Amino acid sequence: MNKTSPLRALFSAGDAAWPEYTAALPPAFAAQGLTVDVSRDHAPETVDYIIAAPNGPIQNFAPFTRCKAVLNLWAGVEDIAPNKTLTQPLARMVDPGLTDGMVEWVVGHTMRHHLGLDHHIHGQDGIWRAAYPPLAHNRPVTILGLGALGAACAKMLTGLGFPVTGWSRSQKDIADVTCQSGTDGLRDALADAEIIVLLLPLTDATTNILNHKTLALLADGAFIINPGRGPLIDDDALLTALDLNIAHATLDVFRTEPLPKNHPFWGHPKVTVTPHIASTTRASTASLCIAENIRRGEDGLSFLHLVDRSKGY
Ligand code: NDP
C-alpha cells in the first residue's frame, strides 16, 4: 500500500449521515493504517472507493473509472445491485451494530407474541384471567433467511429456549437450529411454525414467498414478523390469511414506504406497523467494516460480503 498518496473515498449518502461518518471514518481508517481522504465531491476519475447508500446522490457509477469497489452502507442491495452503470465490485453492509439491533428487535417482537403481552397491555378490564403462556421450548419459531441477520436471530432465540428452524438457499449447519433449504425445505420449515420471521433479501426468487399457498401452511394462530422487505409477502394474501389462520403480523417493511395513509395495514386490528426501524447501519461500527474492506482491497485480498449479482444479494 502506498502510504504517501492518500486514497480517495467518495461518500454518497444522505446529508444526515455525513456528520456521523466524518467523525467515525478517520479513526477507523487510522486503525487499519490507511490514509483516506473522504469527501462528498471528489472528481469521479480520482475516486478509489465509493461508500454508498442506494438512495445516495451517485446513481451513475460509470465515470468512476478508477474505483476499486462500491461499499454499500445498507445490508439490502435490491435498489443498487441492478444498477447497470455499477460494474465495480459491490460489497454489502454486515455491521455488528446492525446485527445487534436486528436481534433485539426480533427478540422483542417474538417475546411480545409469545407471552401474549398485548392481552395485558390492552385488555385491562377488571377480570382476572390467569392464563399462562407456554414456555419457549413449546413455541416453534421459523426464520426464513439464515444470513448475517437471520443466523444471529436464530442463535439468540435458540438461547432463549425456542425450537428454531431456519431456511436458506444453501444448506446450513448451525448448532441447535434445524436447518432447511430448497422448496421442500420451505414447506417443512413453515409447516409447524407458530412464529415466522422473514430475513430474506428481496430478489425475484423471494418476492411473494409468503403467498396464499405458503401462508396456508402455517399453524392456526401463527404470528408473522417481517423485518426483511415488504414484497416478501403478498399483501392481499396476508389480509385474507389474517381472517383465517394468522393471529397477527408485525411488519416493519412495505412495498411502498412510507406506508400510504390509506393502506389497510394501518388500521387493521391484527397488524402492527413499525416504520422500517427494525435496525439501522450505525456509523461507529459500520466505519470499522468499511475501513477493513478498503484495507483488504489495498492488500490485494478479496473484499468481504461481495454481492453476487447473479443471485441478486
Ligand atoms: P444475507 O445476505 O446475509 O442473508 C440472506 C439469507 O437469505 C441467506 O441465508 C440466503 O441463503 C437466504 N436466501 C436468499 N435467497 C434465498 C432463496 N431464494 N431461498 C432461500 N433462501 C434464500 O442478508 P442479511 O441477513 O444481512 O439481511 C437480510 C435482509 O434483511 C436484507 O436483505 C434486508 O432486506 C433486510 N434488512 C432489514 C432491515 C430493517 O431495518 N428492516 C435492516 C437490515 C436488513 P444463503 O445463505 O444460502 O445464501
Q: What is the pLDDT of residues 8-28, one digit of tens each?
A: 999 999 999 999 999 999 999
Q: Do 26 and 38 fall into the same domain?
A: yes
For 131-153, how does the pLDDT look when each residue is reduced to its tens digit (9 = 90+)?
A: 899 999 999 999 999 999 999 99
Asked whether 276 lines ligand 1 (CB < 6 A), one says yes
The CATH number assigned to the domain holding 41 equals: 3.40.50.720
**pLDDT for residue 2 is more than 60:** no
Q: Do 108 and 75 fall into the same domain?
A: no
pLDDT band at residue 5, thresholds of 50, 70 and 90? confident
Q: Which residue has the cell 485480498?
A: 301
CB atoms within 10 A of CB 251: 23
Phi-psi region of 160 (alpha: psi -120 to 50; beta: other; left: phi over 0): alpha
pLDDT at 242: 98
CA–centroid distance, residue 58 to ligand 1 (Å): 25
**Any domain includes 123:** yes
Q: Which residue has the cell 469527501?
A: 39
Q: Do 245 and 223 fall into the same domain?
A: yes
Q: Do 138 and 87 fall into the same domain?
A: no
Q: 144 to each of 167, 187, 237, 249, 268, how far by Cα in Å?
A: 5, 11, 18, 15, 24
What value does the mean pLDDT take over residues 210-227?
Answer: 98
Of 50, 68, 65, 42, which Cα lies nearest the Cα of 13? 50
**3-state DSSP call for residue 71?**
strand
Give the containing element (helix H, strand E) for 2.
none
Give the strand pairing for 69-72 and 90-91.
Answer: parallel
Structural domain count, the chain: 2
Asked whether 206 lines ligand 1 (CB < 6 A), one says yes
**Any domain includes 309:** no
CA–centroid distance, residue 62 to ligand 1 (Å): 28
ipTM: 0.99
Contact 174, 166 (CB under 8 A): yes
**Any domain includes 313:** no
What are the residue numbers of the active site?
229, 276
Asked whether 140 lines ligand 1 (CB < 6 A), one says no
Cell numbers found for residue 230? 415488504
**Any domain includes 54:** yes
Asked whether 253 lines ligand 1 (CB < 6 A), one says yes
Cell numbers found for residue 108? 422483542
**pLDDT for residue 226 is more than 70:** yes
Q: Do 134 and 17 fall into the same domain?
A: no
CA angle (307, 250, 102) in 5-degree steps: 45
CA–centroid distance, residue 255 to ligand 1 (Å): 17
**pLDDT for residue 3 is more than 70:** no
Closest ligand 1 atom number to CA of residue 203 = 15
Question: Could you tell me the residue range of the domain that residue 45 belongs to?
Answer: 7-95+281-298
Asked whether 97 lines ligand 1 (CB < 6 A), one says no
pTM (2 decimals)? 0.97
pLDDT at 192: 84
Nearest residue (by CA) to ligand 1, atom 42, is 279
What value does the mean pLDDT take over residues 168-176?
Answer: 98
pLDDT at 252: 99
**Any domain includes 13:** yes
pLDDT at 4: 59
Q: Do 110 and 194 fall into the same domain?
A: yes
Instruction: In whole angstroms, give the CA distance from residue 105 to residue 157.
Output: 12
Of 34, 85, 82, 35, which Cα lies nearest the Cα of 59? 85
Residues 6 or more apart whose CB falls under 8 angstroms from that of 148 comprise 75, 94, 99, 305
**Any domain includes 304:** no
Give me the chain's average pLDDT, please.
Answer: 97
Q: 70 to each of 80, 87, 89, 242, how far by Cα in Å?
A: 10, 9, 6, 41
Q: Do 210 and 240 fall into the same domain?
A: yes
**pLDDT for residue 114 is more than 80:** yes
Of 209, 207, 269, which Cα lies nearest the Cα of 242? 269
Cell numbers found for residue 244? 383465517
Order of strands, edge to edge, in the sheet holding 195-198?
Answer: 177-181, 164-168, 141-144, 195-198, 222-226, 246-251, 271-273
CB atoms within 10 A of CB 67: 22
Q: Do 13 and 79 fall into the same domain?
A: yes
**Any domain includes 255:** yes
Instruction: In whole angstroms, give the CA distance from residue 74 to residue 93.
Output: 5
Contact 89, 70 (CB under 8 A): yes
Q: Do 192 and 293 fall into the same domain?
A: no
Q: Do 190 and 244 fall into the same domain?
A: yes
Q: Do 82 and 118 fall into the same domain?
A: no
**Residues of the chain above pLDDT 70, percent:** 99
pLDDT band at residue 123, thresholds of 50, 70 and 90? confident
pLDDT band at residue 66, thresholds of 50, 70 and 90? very high
**Any domain includes 307:** no
Q: Do 72 and 103 fall into the same domain?
A: no
CA–centroid distance, residue 188 to ligand 1 (Å): 19
Asked whether 263 lines ligand 1 (CB < 6 A), one says no
